[in-house]
Structure 1
Amino acid sequence: MSSEARTARPSRLLAELRLLLMAVQYFTRVPMPAWVGHSAENLGSTPRYFPAVGALIGAVGALVLWATSLVLAGPLPVILSTAFTVFMTGAFHEDGLADTFDGLGGGATRERALEIMKDSRLGTFGTAALVLTLLIKIEALSELPVTFAIVVLIAGHAFSRACAVTLIFAGTLVSNPELSRSRAVAQPMGRGELIFALVIGIAPLYWCGTYAIAGFVCSLIVLYVLARWFMRRLGGFTGDTLGATQQLTEIAFYLGVLASWNSF
C-alpha cells in the first residue's frame, strides 16, 4: 500500500466520523466537540447516518426503560423512557408531526397548508395527533416484556429513520429553501447512500426475531400511504413531514411487532 493510501484511509474515516457526529448534533441535544463544526455543505451528506442516530436514541431510551423497570411497575418505565427520548431530541420529530397534521388538517390548499406548517403555534389537529401518537407508542411498548421491548425500541427508532431517509431519496423538498431548517439535510441522495442508510436501519431488526417482519411490513405500508398523501397534498415533502414520517412509521413498527407477538 502506498504512503498516500495509508494517509487517505484515516482521513476518510475521520471525515465519516465527523458526518456521524454532525448528524447526532443536528437531531439531538447531545453536545459535540468544537471540531465537529456545523457546515451546511457537510450536512447534506449526513442523511445516511440518520438511522445510526436513531439507534443511539433508541439505545438511550432502552437503557432508561431497563433501569426504571427495576424499581417501577406498570407503564411508568415506558413513559419515562419516551420522555427521555423526547428531551434528548428536543421534540424535533414530534414537532414535525404536530405541524404536519395542523397544516394538512387545516389547510384546504397546498399554499395554506405550507403556511400553517410554518406557524409555531400548536393547533387542534396537531395536538390530537401528538397526544394519540404518544399514547399508542407508550401502550404498545408497555404490552411487551421489558427485555423484548428494549430491542424493539432500538429497532423502531433506527428503522423509522431509514423510512424517512427513503422519503428524502425518492421525493422532492417543497418548502421554501430560504426558510426550511431541513434544506441542508434534504439534499438529493445517491443510491449507495440510501443502501448504506437502509442497512443500518434494518440491522437492529435481527434482534427482534421473526416478530420484526410484521413491524417491517406495517412501517412500509405507512411509509407508502404517507408518501402518496404528501405528494397529493403538497407535491413532495417538507422537514415537518419527514418528522411525521419518522413518528408514524415508528409506531407502525411497534404495533406490527405487538400484533405478531400476541398471535403466537
Structure 2
Amino acid sequence: MMPRAELLKDVIADLRMAASFVTILPVASSKPAGDGAIARATWALPVAGLLVGLAGALVYKVASRLGLTPNLAALLALAATALITGALHEDGLADTADGLGGGRTRERKLEIMRDSRIGTYGVCALILSFGLRWSALATIANPWAVTLALCAAQIAARAGVPAFMSLVPPARPDGLSASAGPPPGRSVAIAFALGTLALALALGPGKALVGLILLSLAGVLLARLAIRQIGGQTGDILGAFEQLGEILILLVAAAFQIGR
C-alpha cells in the first residue's frame, strides 16, 4: 500500500496537472507528463471545473451587488469562465463544428480542425453556446442558484471526459489526446462519481438523473459522429463535449429553477 505522504503528493500533483490543462492559472504540476500521468490525472478534471465555476459565480455575485441586471451579470460570469480557461473549450467547440461541418474527406476534416482560423460553422456554434448558457443563467437569476448551476455545470461537463477518452479511440496517432492515452478505470470512476455528486447536490437526485441522461446521450451522439467522420476523438472533440455538457446542465437548472 502506498504511504499516505506519497499518496497525498500524487493527489496534489494530479490536481495541479488538471488545473494547468483546464485553466490558465500558473499551477503546472512537477510530475512528469509522460508515462500515462496525464491520463491518470483526468480524475481531477471535475475539481478543476469547480474552480472555474466558482470564478464565474463570484463575478456574477459582484455584478449583482453592483446593481447590474441578470442579463449583464450572466454575460460577465461567462466572460470570466472563458478568461480563466483561456477559452480552451470554446476553441475546441468551434474547431469541431468547422471540421465536422466542412470538408468532404476524413483528412480534410482533420486539417480544418487543426487550422487556427475560425469558419462559419464555428462562429455559429460559439453564438449558440454563449447564447444558450447566457440565457439559462439570466433565467435562473438568483445569485445562489447561479452559483449552484455554474459549479454543477463546470464539474459535470468535465466528469464525463475521462470516460469519453476511454471509450472513443483517438482519431490520429499524434496530438495531445493520443499522447495522453486512455485514462485508467479508476480515474474514470472517480471523475464520474464527482460529477454525479455535484449534480445531486446542486439539482437534487431527480433533476441530477435528467442531467446525467442528457449528458450520456450527448456523449453517445458526439462519439458516433466523430467516429463516423474522422475515426475517433481529438482534443477539439473533447472540448466540444465539455461545452455540450455545460449547456445541457445549465438548461436543466434553468428549466427546474434550482435554488428558488
* TM-score higher than 0.5: yes
Q: 2:209 aligns with which of 203, 209, 213?
A: 213
Deviation at 1:25, TM superposition (A): 1.1
1:9 aligns with 2:4: yes
User: How many matched pairs?
Assistant: 254
Root mean square deviation, CA, Å: 2.0
Q: 1:105 aligns with which of 101, 107, 112?
A: 101
Matches within 5 A, 1:141-152: 141-144=137-140, 145-152=142-149
What is the aligned partner in structure 2 of residue 69 from structure 1?
64
Bigger Cα displacement from structure 2, 124-133 vs 68-77: 68-77
SS across alignment from 1:46: helix
Unaligned stretches of 5+ residues in structure 2? none
What is the aligned partner in structure 2 of residue 259 from structure 1?
255
Query: 2: distance between equivalents of 1:199 and 1:233?
Result: 31
The Cα offsets for residues 183-211 of structure 1, whole Å up to 9 and x where unpaired, read as: 343x1222222111111122111222243
Whether the 8 Å contact between 1:28 and 1:88 is mirrored in structure 2 is yes
Q: 2:89 aligns with which of 93, 97, 100?
A: 93
Bigger Cα displacement from structure 2, 59-68 vs 116-125: 59-68
Q: 1:164 aligns with which of 156, 161, 165?
A: 161
What is the aligned partner in structure 1 of residue 186 from structure 2?
192
User: Could you state the TM-score of these two structures normalised by the residue count of structure 2?
Assistant: 0.91
Give % identity. 34
SS across alignment from 2:146: helix
1:29 aligns with 2:24: yes
Whether the 8 Å contact between 2:95 and 2:118 is mirrored in structure 1 is yes
Bigger Cα displacement from structure 2, 196-205 vs 89-98: 196-205
User: Could you state the TM-score of these two structures normalised by the residue count of structure 1?
Assistant: 0.89
1:79 aligns with 2:75: yes
Residue identity matched to 1:198: F
Whether the 8 Å contact between 1:212 and 1:257 is mirrored in structure 2 is no
Deviation at 1:166, TM superposition (A): 1.6
Residue identity matched to 1:29: I
What is the aligned partner in structure 1 of residue 51 from structure 2?
56
Query: 2: distance between equivalents of 1:91 and 1:182?
Result: 18
Query: 2: distance between equivalents of 1:77 and 1:218?
Result: 27
The Cα offsets for residues 111-164 of structure 1, whole Å up to 9 and x where unpaired, read as: 111010001111110111011111111001110133212101100111111122
Unaligned stretches of 5+ residues in structure 1? none
Query: 2: distance between equivalents of 1:82 and 1:59?
Result: 11
SS across alignment from 2:70: coil
SS across alignment from 2:40: coil
Deviation at 1:46, TM superposition (A): 1.4
Do the aligned partners of residues 61 and 137 (structure 1) sit closer, same or farther apart at CA in structure 2, a change above 3 Å counting? same
